[in-house]
Amino acid sequence: MDTRFLLPLCLVLLLLGCEVQGTHLPQQDEPTSPHMLTQVQETLFSYWDNAKAAAQGLYEKTCLPTVDRKIRDMYSKSSAAIRTYTGIFTDQILTILQGDQ
């Protein structure tokens, strides 16, 4: 594109932009706005409920009792280990803070 066409093109686009901004649409009634908000809210809640139901269904289909037991066993063992190491760490901190008293 030649540079001599650039200035008139920018002016035409600026004029069109001002024309679009200058036209005002009549105000819509306010009571329709809360109705639309309620409708959107209900739609979103229905999507959320459908997604939760689908996830629950997939979980129930793929739930294996042996895997569930292994996960519970790993959780109990790891929480017991964390409890032990937390006790040791607490004792070390108290020993350091007390010093040679």
Spans of all domains in the chain: 52-83
Q: Which mean pLDDT values do the consecutive 10-residue runs of the chain (101 residues) have?
A: 69 66 56 74 88 82 78 91 92 86 65
Closest CA to 86 of 74, 98, 94, 75: 94
For 95, the token pair is 């020993």
Predicted local confidence at residue 88, as pLDDT: 92
The whole-model pTM stands at 0.35
CA distance 99 to 101: 6
